[in-house]
With several copies, the nearest count.
Chain A
């Protein structure tokens, strides 16, 4: 096994009702300091974490959704979002935040971090990991 492991963070829960989404993000931020191959999966209610226009003023809880946009700076650039999960919730990619990163291998071109994938491809991504952390 190489020194680099593939880590997948699986996000299947909605934000704010419970703390899992926020504390998952805290792991991703810390984990970025380690030199591993990191991917994020958003499926089931996890896709709701990425909606744009979140405004938590009325519930008195911190809005952590902008942090997703900062992850590119930490070389966390693979956000796999399941197409079927979006569709069941009446969402499309246009309802999600724009999240980008600068590709150092391509003259720092700005590229989208979100990759909408079908359920079969999501299953294949999951099966390709060394470590799967579920939140």
Chain B
């Protein structure tokens, strides 16, 4: 039994990503979408908070949103896996529930 959490806001603007990470349980997955994809950048003011949970959680980022924002793949954190919309659907069906951190 595990949950897919979606985060769609910039971690530099709001506390939503942090609150999500604080409430995930081991084995859960986090998918960053829309402005949430900035949470996947390496070497930022928030990247340590993401890396710290990457052992217990699977962290994904929606690649079309990454590309829209001009973030080169080389700048993304190693702990983050890119998915497309098909991958998003698979994450939804392969977890028991989805929780949106709106």
Contact A90 B67 (CB under 8 A): no
Chain A residues with CB below 8 A from B65, complex form: 16, 58-59
**With the chains together, A58 CA to B1 CA distance in Å?**
32
Chain A residues with CB below 8 A from B89, complex form: none
Contact B68 A123 (CB under 8 A): no
**With the chains together, A10 CA to B16 CA distance in Å?**
13
**Interface digits, B23-67 against A, CB 8 Å rule (1 contact, 0 not)?**
111001000001110100111110100000000000000011101
Q: Which of B34, B41, B72 contacts A16 (CB 8 A)?
A: B34
For the complex, count residues of A whose C-beta is within 8 A of B.
39
* 4 other A-B residue contacts (CB within 8 Å) besides A51-B70, A54-B69, A123-B22: A45-B10, A52-B70, A58-B67, A90-B42
Residues of B within 8 A of A (CB): 1-3, 8-10, 12-13, 15, 19, 22-25, 28, 34-36, 38, 41-45, 47, 63-65, 67-72, 75, 84, 97-102
